[in-house]
Chain A
Amino acid sequence: MINRKITLGQFKGTFQQPDIFGYYGNFGGAYIPEMLYPNVEELKEQYLKIIYDEGFQKEFRYLLKDYVGRPSPLYLARRLSEKYGTTIFLKREDLNHTGAHKINNTIGQILLARRLGKHRIIAETGAGQHGVATATVCALMNMQCVVYMGEKDIERQAPNVARMKMLGAEVVPATSGSKTLKDATNEAIRDWINNPVDTHYIIGSVVGPHPYPDMVARFQSVISEEIKWQLKEHTGSEQPTHVVACVGGGSNAAGTFYHFLEEFSVQLVAVEAAGHGVKTGMSAATTQLGKPGVLHGSKSLVMQTEDGQVVEPHSISAGLDYPGIGPLHAHLFETGRAIFLSATDNEAIDAAFELTRLEGIIPALESAHAIAGLNQLKLTSKDTVVVCLSGRGDKDMATYMKAMEGRGGGEVSAIRYQV
Chain B
Amino acid sequence: MNRIQELFKQKSNRVLNIYCTAGFPLLNSTLDVMQALQENGADIIELGVPYSDPLADGPVIQESGGVALQNGMTIKTLISQLQQLRPAIHVPVILMGYINPVIQYGFEKFCREVSAAGVDGLILPDIPIREFETEYGVVIKKYGLDFIFLVTPETSEQRIRKIDALSTGFIYAVSSSSTTGKDKDFSEVEIYLKRLKEMKLKNPVLVGFGIKDKASFESACNYANGAIIGSAYIKALQSNTDVKTVTKNFLEGILK
SS class of chain A's interface: helix, strand, loop or mixed?
mixed
Given the interface pairs A308-B75, A309-B69, the reply to whether A33 lies near B55 with Cβ below 8 Å is: yes
A194–B62 Cα gap in the complex (Å)?
16
When the two chains form the complex, which single residue of B69, B99, B179 contacts A31, counting CB atoms closer than 8 Å?
B99
Q: How many chain B residues touch the partner (CB < 8 A)? A: 40
A276 CA to B151 CA in the complex, in Å?
A: 45
Q: Within 8 Å of chain A (Cβ to Cβ): is B56?
A: yes
With beta carbons under 8 angstroms apart, the residue of A29, A34, A189, A309 that contacts B155 is A34
Q: Find chain A residues with CB under 8 A from B152 CB.
A: 34-35, 37-38
Chain B min CB distance to A89 (Å): 39
The residue that A30 contacts in the complex, of B53, B100, B128, with Cβ under 8 A, is: B128
A308 and B97 alpha carbons, distance in the complex (Å)? 12
Query: Could you tell me if B53 and A186 are in contact, using CB atoms closer than 8 angstroms?
Result: yes
A37 neighbours in B (Cβ, 8 Å): 152, 154-155, 159
B102 at the interface (CB under 8 A from A): yes
Q: How far is the CB of A33 from chain B (nearest CB, A)?
A: 4
Q: Which residue of B has the minimal Cβ distance to A309?
A: B52
B58 CB–A CB distance under 8 Å: yes
A210 to chain B, nearest CB (A): 10
Min CB gap A203→B, angstroms: 14
B174 A34 Cβ-Cβ under 8 A: yes
Chain B residues with CB below 8 A from A307, complex form: 74-76, 101, 104-105
Given A294-B126, A308-B105, CB of A34 within 8 Å of CB of B62: no
**Is B161 part of the binding interface, using a Cβ–Cβ cutoff of 8 Å?**
no
A180-205 CB mask vs B (1 if < 8 Å, else 0) is 00110010011001101000000000
Beta-carbon contact of A190 and B55 below 8 Å: yes
Q: Contact check: which of A31, A194, A304 meets B126 at CB < 8 Å?
A: A31
Q: Which residues of A contact B99 (CB under 8 A)?
A: 31, 294
A25 contacts chain B at the CB level, 8 A cutoff: no
Residues of A within 8 A of B98 (CB): 294
Give, as a whole number of angstroms, the nearest-CB distance from B22 to chain A. Answer: 12
| B66 beta carbon closer than 8 Å to chain A | yes
Tell me which residues across on chain A come within 8 A of B63, comparing CB atoms.
176
How distant is the Cα of A296 from the Cα of B99 in the complex, in angstroms? 12
| In contact, A193 and B177 (Cβ under 8 angstroms) | yes
B178 CB within 8 Å of chain A? yes
Within 8 A of B (CB), among A278-329: 291-297, 302, 304, 306-310
Q: Chain A's nearest CB lies how many Å from the CB of B124?
A: 10
Alpha-carbon distance A177/B64, docked complex (angstroms): 11
> In the complex, what distance in Å separates the CA atom of A294 from the CA atom of B86?
32
Contact of B130 with A by CB under 8 A: yes
Q: A31-B127, A31-B131, A34-B174 are in contact. Are A177 and B179 (CB under 8 A)?
A: no
The residues in B between 127 and 160 inclusive whose CB is less than 8 angstroms from any CB of A are 127-128, 130-131, 149-152, 154-155, 159
Q: Closest CB of chain B to A311's CB: distance in Å? A: 8
Q: Is B197 interfacial (CB-CB < 8 Å)?
A: no
| Interface contact A33-B126, CB-CB below 8 Å | yes
Expressed in whole angstroms, the Cα–Cα distance for A29 and B130 within the complex equals: 10
- Chain A residues, Cβ within 8 Å of B223: none
Considering the chains assembled together, what is the distance between the CA atoms of A283 and B101 in angstroms? 21
Q: A194 to B178, Cβ gap below 8 A?
A: yes
- Are B128's CB and A38's CB within 8 A? no
Q: Is A21 an interface residue (CB 8 A)?
A: yes
Whether A32 and B100, one on each chain, are in contact in the complex, defined by CB atoms closer than 8 angstroms, is: no
In the complex, what residues of B have CB within 8 A of residue A29's CB?
128, 130-131
Q: Most chain-A Cβ atoms within 10 A of its Cβ — which of B66, B102, B128, B154? A: B128
Q: Which residues of A contact B51 (CB under 8 A)?
A: 308-309
How distant is B253 from chain A, measured CB to nearest CB, in Å? 27
Interface residues of A in 403-418 (CB under 8 A from B): none
Verify A194–B100 contact, CB threshold 8 A: no
Contacts of B3 in A (CB 8 A): none
Asked if A294 contacts B177 (CB within 8 A), the reply is no
CB neighbours (8 Å) of B179 from chain A are 35, 190, 193-194
- A21 near B130 with CB under 8 A, answer yes
> How far does the Cβ of B232 sit from chain A's closest Cβ, in whole Å?
18
How many angstroms from the CA of A194 to the CA of B55 in the assembled complex? 12
Residues in chain B near residue A32, CB distance under 8 A: 55, 126, 128
B53 close to A310 (CB less than 8 A) = yes
Residues in B neighbouring A35, C-beta threshold 8 A: 56, 150, 152, 154, 174, 177-179
B150–A177 CB distance below 8 A: no
Q: Which of B71-109 contact A (CB under 8 A)?
A: 74-76, 98-105
- Which of B74, B75, B105, B149 sits near A34, CB closer than 8 Å? B149
| Chain B nearest Cβ from A298, distance in angstroms | 10
Chain A positions within 8 Å of B100 at CB level:
293-295, 302, 304, 308, 310
Chain B residues near A306: list those with CB within 8 A.
104
| Binary per-residue interface labels of chain A (153-190) against chain B in the complex, 1 for a CB within 8 Å, 0 otherwise | 00000000000000000000000110000110010011
> 9 A-B residue contacts at CB 8 Å?
A32-B55, A37-B155, A193-B55, A193-B179, A293-B100, A294-B100, A295-B100, A307-B104, A308-B100
- A: residues with CB less than 8 A from B are 21, 29-35, 37-38, 176-177, 182-183, 186, 189-190, 193-194, 196, 291-297, 302, 304, 306-310
Seed contacts A31-B128, A176-B66, A309-B51; 10 additional CB < 8 Å A-B pairs: A31-B126, A33-B56, A34-B149, A38-B154, A182-B53, A190-B55, A193-B177, A193-B179, A294-B126, A309-B52
